Amino acid sequence: MATPSALARVSVVLSRPSHPGNVGAAARAMKTMGFADLRLVAPQRELGPEARALASGALDVLEGARTYPGLEEALADAGLAVGFSARTRDLSHPALALREAAGAILAAARSQRVALVFGNETFGLTNEELGRCQMLCVIPANPRYSSLNLAAAVQVACYELATAQASHPVPAGPAHEAATVEEVEALFEHWQAAMVESGFLDPKRPKRLMERLRRLMGRARPERSEVKFLRGMLAAFQEKKKR
């Protein structure tokens, strides 16, 4: 697990974004994955209420965004610039799939600033912009429609990096205590006895009923409390039968 500061050394650079809403949505995408440094190169429209609405709880990221006249200035302090493209064709640079690139990106971010560079919504990155990047990264996509929304591409890239460095809490396993093998075996014995008593299971022609029950419960992997509940239920069925 890398230190949180590695994510702090990763910037998202949006070059010539057309739609303020996308800038806001990109800020939100970044913050949900723990990124904060947003840089805008020559945004084509002022950020207004639409950008703020789509930033939602990531207004701090949006308002902290810096604007640069050109990509060169935005990348001035970066040791590695990674250009993103959804296209696998027409690439002059050799490209890595996002998952393949994640390790190298995080390794670089341990010691230097890394910029993830996204192009304009319609045109993507120009060859000149790609020329300022040292790595080209592709998000593998449907060849018949590979056009991810700008903020969606930022979301996927940030998700992949955060997951690759295991930055965020992953849910703990089952919240409740799993039953032990011994407890589950006792349940099967109880279940079998109850089925025999009820007449449903004929010990002379068992029809693999216990095998099927084992398979079903094996998939369910019952918790201790569920074993208790089932045995209580079986006992109640047995009582009823005896009455």
Residues of the shown chain interacting with a copy of itself in the complex, contacts defined by CB under 8 A? 25, 28-29, 31-34, 54, 56-58, 86, 88, 91-92, 94-97, 99-100, 138-143, 145-149, 151-152, 155-156, 159, 162-163, 167-176
DSSP state letters, 86-110: S-SSS-SS-EEEHHHHHHHHHHHHT
Task: Between 7 and 71, name the residue whose CB sits nearer to a copy of itself.
Answer: 7
Name, in order, each residue with C-beta under 8 angstroms of 185's C-beta and a sequence gap of 6 or more: none
Task: Between 42 and 178, name the residue whose CB sits nearer to a copy of itself.
Answer: 178
Task: Between 44 and 122, name the residue whose CB sits nearer to a copy of itself.
Answer: 122
Which strand ranges, in their side-by-side order, compose the sheet holding 113-118?
66-68, 37-41, 10-15, 113-118, 78-85, 135-138, 95-97
Q: What sign has the CA pseudo-torsion 93, 97, 103, 105?
A: positive
Q: How far is the CB of 71 from a copy of itself (least distance, A)?
A: 22
Q: How far is the CB of 236 from a copy of itself (least distance, A)?
A: 24
In the numeric block, which tokens belong to residue 176? 């409740």
Instruction: Give the whole-angstrom CA distance, residue 22 versus residue 54.
Output: 8
Q: How far is the CB of 185 from a copy of itself (least distance, A)?
A: 23
In the numeric block, which tokens belong to residue 1? 């697990």
Task: Between 94 and 199, name the residue whose CB sits nearer to a copy of itself.
Answer: 94
Q: How far is the CB of 59 from a copy of itself (least distance, A)?
A: 11
